[in-house]
Structures are given as structure tokens and as C-alpha cells.
Amino acid sequence: MTVGIRHDDLRRRNRAMVISAVRRAGQPSRTDIAATTALSPSTISAITADLISEGILVESRAGDAPAARRGRPQVAVRLNANAATILTVVLSMNQLSAALIDYAGETIAEERRKLPTLELSREALVDETVGIVRRLIVAAPDRQPIMRIVLAVQGITDSNERKLLWSPITPHADIDFSAILEKEFGIPVTVENDCNMIAVGLRWRNPERYARDFIAVLLSHGIGMGMVLRGELFTGTQSSGGEFGHMIHRPDGALCRCGRRGCIEAYAGNYAIWRNAKGLPETEAVARDVTDEDIRALADVARSRPGPEREAFRIAGEAIGFGLGNLFALIDPAPVAIVGHGANAFDLIEKPMLDAIARTAGGVHSGAISFDTEPDEMPLIREGCAMRALTFIDQEVFSPAQTAAPGRIVA
């Protein structure tokens, strides 16, 4: 922050800016790029010429809307899909998936598998992860070199984005996935929190709604959160942070999976809804593995008649509402996306949630709050990972600090 700007930074940053503009616009003309970056046409001309000669961009003559206008037609440029390849891995409860993605963001190959994450040994979990990566790499020999791996995992990651510090999906803590995978494959690896990737994915998918400030809440086994503030992904100072689900809703209240008492998750997680619906004591852990199917069944009952099921969803909505209200007290109201299977029961939790928010400081500008739901979180996580990896390539590899981009020129 205290460091001056050197002359070569200029070109570096403007290169990254042009790449970013192309990534967002898809097939912009040079004029379009000049408009969005506020750089002069001459500068854009020079930079795009460089990027094309380096194989990062390609011209695609067929402008999507030639529209028979007068004048020299625009020549669209787009990302060269072959300029780079990245790999995403998503590790979540009982599920492991990976995908090979080209520079334009299209999926080249994919693999998904079920595995009992809670029961696997540390080594077995690591081996599964290494294995799925290896299979994808081996299956695409023409896609070498792969330039980046991004692994999203449900749990707390460190702020260097290298380790899984703690996760509800495995009893093992402090797994240095970056070191392991980098040693194995020689490719830079980033480890990310799944909800943070959901936030990145949401912004990519709908930049109108999810722009400068928004919140993504994942309702699943546990409660996760990702947040973008002032256009930047919010993280903790030492970890991925944003442990919304473990903010205390009621001091010394219901027992949480994490061992503490009164966490939001202990009222709104799958197991908590089950516990309340079945009238089990809230001071005791839930032995049963509560599935999405269980929750769906409870929701059906809750919709059909008043009773403990409906009350369980009310309690869940209330806990989330107070949590969001407290968050709004800190950051002010912002658009919220309710993601994950729990979004299917949003009709049951919405009213108690809004009632709770209205009882908090965040309820003052409740008009500014709006909710959207997305029951399937996996595609969002994958898209978020892909964007994270591609943004890294755009900035660090194709707009590097020192010499000209060493990126392989691929036809």
C-alpha cells in the first residue's frame, strides 16, 4: 500500500484490465473495450495486438450483431479457449468432483464420485483428491500444461488459501492440500471455502443483482456464508472467515455440531431442524445422519399442518433472521441469496426470518433487503472456482510483474 507505482506496472495493470473486460463482455470490439476501460483507442489497439500475438485473445470476425450498420464493421475479440487450462476440485460432504476448464470457462472434462468423507482416513481423503485430479490430467494430455488448481471445500481454510484448517466433512484437521497437490503435480494450488466460491459464482452468473455488496447463505447440513463487500470477497484476517453459522444466536442454547452452545447452525442446520421437529432435547447431539430427503419430508408435513415440524422451520427461520439482522447491523442491508437444499423450504422460513430481522437494527432499512433462492449449490461452487482460477491466470500469468507474458502460444 505504501509502495509507489512504477512505469511497468502501468502496462501490466492495463493488460489485466483489457483481459478482464473481454472476459466479462464475451465478444467485445476494441471500441467496446476502450469504452469500458476508459483507455484511448490507440492504447487498446496496442494492447489487444500484443495479446493476440501472444495467443491470449483471438479475433472472431463474426460479430454477433453485425446489424448492417454503416461504417467499418467492428471486429470482435474473445478469449482464446486454448490459451490455458485450469482444474477445479470441489470437496463436500460425501462428494468429490473435479473439472477441467478451458481459458474461456468451458468445461472440457469432469468427474464426480460419492465417498464417505466422514469415515475416510486422512490419507484416504488425500488420495481420493489426488486421484481424481490425476485421472483428469492423464485423460487430457493435449491440455498440458494445466496452469492452476482451485479446490473448494466445505470448512475453514487459511487466509493464504493453502490449507483446510477445519471441516465438518472430515474429522481430520489442518490438511495442507496445496502442498500435497503442488508436490504431486507441480501446479499452483489454491484452497478456498465453498461459500466464498458460491459468492464468486453468483457474481459471475448475475452481475446485475450480485454486484458490489451481497450475501450468500448456504443452508445444508450446516450453515455457511460468503459475502462480497465493496466489490471484494470478504474473508477473515487469518482464515476464510465468515463463520455465520457459528455466530451465537442464544447464549448457552442448543448444542451445535461444533461442540459449542447456541450457534445459529444449532437452530437452522438440517440436524437442528430434525431435532426440533422430532422433539428431541436440544442439549443432545443428533445421532442420525439427517439427509436432504428427511428435510423434504419434514417440510411437506410442515406445509400440511401446524405442529412441531412447522415450529422447527419457524425456529430455523428465526435464527437465520437474527443472524442476518446482526450482520446488517454491521454492514447494512444487502441482497441475499439463499443457496442449497434449504432453499427448497424457503417458503417455511421466510416469514419468521423477516419477523426476526424486523426486530434487529438491520430491520431499519428492510426495504433494501431482497432474497433470492438457488437450491443447487454445486454448479455455483464449480463456477466460482473456475472464475477464481481464471482470474488468477489473467492477472498473474498473463499480466505478470516482470517480463513479458511467457504464456505458451497455442494456435
Partner DNA sequence: CTCTTTTTTTCGAGCCTCGAAAAAAATAAT
Partner DNA sequence: ATTATTTTTTTCGAGGCTCGAAAAAAAGAG
Q: Does 62 bind a copy of itself (CB under 8 A)?
A: no
Q: Does 10 bind DNA (CB under 7 A)?
A: yes
Question: Do residues 215 and 335 lie in contact, with contact meaning Cβ atoms separated by under 8 Å?
Answer: yes
96: left (phi > 0), else alpha (psi -120 to 50), else beta?
beta
Residue from 258, 280, 301, 397 touching a copy of itself (CB under 8 A): that is 258
Question: Measuring CA to CA, how many Å separate 331 from each of 43, 227, 264, 346, 362?
Answer: 39, 10, 19, 23, 9
Neighbours of 257 (CB within 10 A): 18
Q: How far is the CB of 83 from DNA (least distance, A)?
A: 19
42 binds, among DNA, a copy of itself, none (CB under 5 to 8 A by kind): DNA
Sheet order of strands, 214-219 included: 232-233, 223-229, 214-219, 336-339, 371-374
Task: Convert residues 308-347 into a mask of x (bound to a copy of itself by CB under 8 A) and - (unbound).
Answer: ----------x---x--xxx-xxxxxx-------------
Q: Does 82 bind a copy of itself (CB under 8 A)?
A: no
Residue from 69, 114, 230, 305 touching DNA (CB under 7 A): that is 69
Residue 61 buriedness (CB in 10 A; 0-12 / 13-18 / 19+): exposed
Dist. CA 280–CA 286, nearest whole Å: 8
DSSP 8-state class, residue 172: -
Q: Does 3 bind a copy of itself (CB under 8 A)?
A: yes
Task: Convert residues 217-236 into a mask of x (bound to DNA by CB under 7 A) and - (unbound).
Answer: --------------------
Q: Does 402 bind DNA (CB under 7 A)?
A: no
Task: Convert residues 25-44 into a mask of x (bound to a copy of itself by CB under 8 A) and - (unbound).
Answer: -----------xxxx---x-
Q: Does 351 bind a copy of itself (CB under 8 A)?
A: no
Helix or strand holding residue 338 (H, E) = strand 336-339
257 binds, among DNA, a copy of itself, none (CB under 5 to 8 A by kind): none
Q: How far is the CB of 2 from a copy of itself (least distance, A)?
A: 6
Q: Does 305 bind DNA (CB under 7 A)?
A: no
Q: Which is nearer to a copy of itself, 4 or 186 (CB)?
A: 4
Residue from 104, 130, 229, 397 touching a copy of itself (CB under 8 A): that is 229
153 binds, among DNA, a copy of itself, none (CB under 5 to 8 A by kind): none
Question: Measuring CA to CA, how many Å separate 396 from each of 58, 87, 399, 406?
Answer: 20, 16, 6, 11
Beta strands in 248-294 (DSSP E): none
Dist. CA 49–CA 145, nearest whole Å: 24
Phi and psi at 113, nearest 5°, equal: -150, 150
Q: Which amino acid is at 12?
A: R
Q: Which is nearer to a copy of itself, 92 or 326 (CB)?
A: 326
Which residues sit opposite 149 in a β-bridge? Answer: 87, 189
| Cell, residue 359 | 426486530
Span from 9-17, 206-214, 258-266, 354-362 in contact with DNA (CB under 7 A): 9-17
Residue from 49, 211, 285, 358 touching DNA (CB under 7 A): that is 49
Q: Does 36 bind DNA (CB under 7 A)?
A: no
Dist. CA 357–CA 1, nearest whole Å: 38
> What residues line the site for DNA (CB under 7 A)?
4-8, 10-11, 14, 29-31, 38-43, 45-49, 68-75
> What residues line the site for a copy of itself (CB under 8 A)?
1-7, 9-10, 13-14, 17-18, 20-21, 24, 36-39, 43, 159, 212-213, 229-231, 236-239, 241-244, 246-252, 258, 260-261, 263, 318, 322, 325-327, 329-334, 356, 359-361, 365, 368
